[in-house]
């Protein structure tokens, strides 16, 4: 009986560790920048299923004081300045068919954006593939919001 109880407790511990963290620390590590603690975090994650396809999206809202530190972090990390090319904006801010699960993020008038193609061993243009695996982030200094997204299809 004790063995069964111990096995069940170990299984619960193992399952508890499988959830993964999705917080500001996760975003900072993925983007390789230092971020202060946000005042608010909202997120959604549709990853799951056999292949782990889905969309993770997070909004990290920073106080006015911390927003300056975030601005310094993203600008010194070599992020691109807005505006972005219209074709790229159209792909990263979709509307219409297939965009129902997409976060309704505004395109900032000014700020920084980051795009990382995470698909391995591919030489073709990332938009010419049958599947996408990328990380996209935007920092809007006017609102103090860092938008973060991981898409895996």
Burial letters 116-134, b for 16+ CB under 10 A, else e:
eeeeeeeeeeeeeeeeebb
Task: Please write the tens of the pLDDT for every residue from 73-103.
Answer: 999 998 999 988 888 888 787 664 444 455 6
CB neighbour class for 74 (10 Å; exposed up to 12, middle 13-18, buried from 19) = buried
Give the residue with greater pLDDT, 124 vs 39: 39
pLDDT band at 12 (very low <50, low <70, confident <90, very high): very low
Average pLDDT for residues 18-31, to the nearest whole number?
Answer: 74
Tokens matching residue 72: 């310094």
What percentage of the chain exceeds 70 in pLDDT? 69
Tokens 């695996």, residue? 133
> Does the pLDDT value for residue 1 go beyond 80?
no
Q: Could you tell me the pTM of the whole model?
A: 0.75
- Strand residues in the chain grouped as ranges (E): 40-45, 54-61, 80-81, 112-117, 133-140, 145-152
DSSP structure class, residue 37 = P
């Amino acid at each position: 009986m004790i063995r069964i109880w111990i096995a069940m407790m170990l299984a619960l511990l193992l399952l508890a560790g499988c959830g993964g963290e999705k917080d500001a620390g996760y975003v900072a590590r993925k983007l390789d920048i230092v971020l202060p603690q946000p005042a608010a975090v909202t997120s959604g994650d549709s990853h799951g299923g056999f292949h782990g396809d889905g969309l993770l999206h997070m909004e990290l809202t920073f106080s006015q004081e911390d927003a300056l530190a975030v601005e310094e972090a993203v600008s010194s990390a070599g992020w691109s300045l807005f505006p972005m090319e219209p074709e790229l904006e159209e792909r990263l801010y979709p509307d219409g068919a297939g965009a129902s699960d997409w976060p309704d993020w505004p395109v900032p008038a000014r700020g920084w954006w980051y795009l990382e193609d995470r698909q391995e061993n591919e030489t073709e243009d990332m938009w010419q593939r049958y599947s996408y695996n990328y990380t996209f982030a935007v920092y809007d200094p006017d609102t103090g919001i860092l938008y973060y997204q991981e898409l895996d299809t």
